[in-house]
Amino acid sequence: MLAENFNLTAYCQRIGYTGELRPNLATVQALMQHQLRSVPFENLDVLAGKPISLNPDDIVAKIVGRQRGGYCYEVNGMFAMALQALGIPYQFVAARPMFYPMKRPRTHMALLVTLDGAEWLCDLGFGSYGIRAPLRLDVLETPIPQGCDTFMLSEEGGDIILKAQVEGAWAKQYGFNRCPVEWIDFAPANWLNSTHPDAVFTQKPLVVCFTANGRNILFGDSFKQVDAGITTQRTLAPHEQAAVLEEHFGLRS
């Protein structure tokens, strides 16, 4: 799905990466962490009533050209373009979010990347309890610390389940299988997430950006900062939101 306007050098400049570019795990992990810290997960265009385009050229123009972020299809799509430019095999998977009280459709997009004969889960678009580095798919029931978070992959009913440790307990985040999914298959989910009145993205601002030791989260008028496991939170007045978006998420109106 490489866009005609994708340029690997421009992408690296956008995410602040100046290291080596090789088709190996070290490069993939470094690119993933740099993108997570510079390209926020955000739904501001959804709230503004703007269509969320899945055209690869539009994604590049938005994230690289206009210095914006996006939600899972956009940020994971952007990362897929970088993988393709490096010659790294990958496939899209459709994942079912599992933190809701009721069963939800498989509307989340993630990536399975093949490196050194193994498959790795990469995901740069899951918001607060998203992984911070690739997870090897054949390492199950094993806690994997990533910064201030700890994750684990399990297998249930033919699905691989991503779990995060939340307040001392394992909380299911989403489940997926290895069935390959094509880019166009996410069009209905994109439409639902960007237009349905019950979708979380249509209701209030949701912006997440990772930091070296945690993450910054804006949800509605609540601004939360997690740093080395310590959480601070405050309520923003309407006039404060623009400054917080620029200072902590690199987003300008």
CATH code of the domain in which 226 resides? 3.30.2140.20
The predicted pLDDT at position 229 comes to: 80
Q: How far apart are CA 63 and CA 40, in angstroms?
A: 9
Of 146, 144, 150, the C-alpha closest to 166 is 150
Q: Which of 108, 122, 149, 209 is catalytic?
A: 108
Of 215, 213, 14, the C-alpha closest to 127 is 215
Q: How far apart are CA 34 and CA 175, in angstroms?
A: 25
In the residue annotation, 108 being an active-site residue is answered as yes
Report the helix count and the strand count for the chain, using DSSP H and E: 7, 13
The predicted pLDDT at position 106 comes to: 96
Rounded to 10°, the helix 72-85/25-38 angle is: 150
Q: Which of 34, 45, 122, 123 is catalytic?
A: 123
CB 113, CB 28: distance < 8 Å: yes
Which residues have C-beta within 8 Å of that of residue 243, sequence separation ≥ 6? none
Is 93 among the domain residues?
yes
- Cβ–Cβ contacts within 10 Å for residue 246, how many? 12
Is 236 among the domain residues?
yes
Domain count, the chain: 1
- Residue with token string 């993205």: 201
Of 106, 108, 110, 117, the C-alpha closest to 91 is 110
Is 1 among the domain residues?
no
pLDDT in tens, the chain (253 residues): 788 999 999 999 999 999 999 999 999 999 999 999 999 999 999 999 999 999 999 999 999 999 999 999 999 999 999 999 999 999 999 999 998 878 889 999 999 999 989 999 999 999 879 999 999 999 999 999 998 899 999 999 999 999 999 988 999 999 999 998 999 999 999 999 999 999 999 999 999 999 998 999 999 999 999 998 889 999 999 999 999 999 999 998 6
CB 152, CB 143: distance < 8 Å: yes
- Cβ–Cβ contacts within 10 Å for residue 20, how many? 9
Is 2 among the domain residues?
no
Q: Which residues pair with 114 in a beta bridge?
A: 119
- Cβ–Cβ contacts within 10 Å for residue 226, how many? 20
Longest dimension (CA), the chain: 52
- Residue with token string 């009721």: 102
Euclidean distance between the first and final Cα of the chain, in Å? 29
Is 3 among the domain residues?
no
In the residue annotation, 72 being an active-site residue is answered as yes
In the residue annotation, 248 being an active-site residue is answered as no
Residue 230 phi, psi dihedral angles, 5° rounding: -100, 125
Of 97, 171, 160, 162, the C-alpha closest to 132 is 162
Is 170 among the domain residues?
yes
Q: If you ran DSSP here, which 8-state letter would residue 237 be given?
A: P
Q: Could you tell me the residue range of the domain that residue 230 belongs to?
A: 8-249
Name the pTM for this structure: 0.96
Q: How far apart are CA 35 and CA 164, in angstroms?
A: 21
Is 51 among the domain residues?
yes
Q: Which of 34, 72, 149, 209 is catalytic?
A: 72
Q: How far apart are CA 63 and CA 46, in angstroms?
A: 15
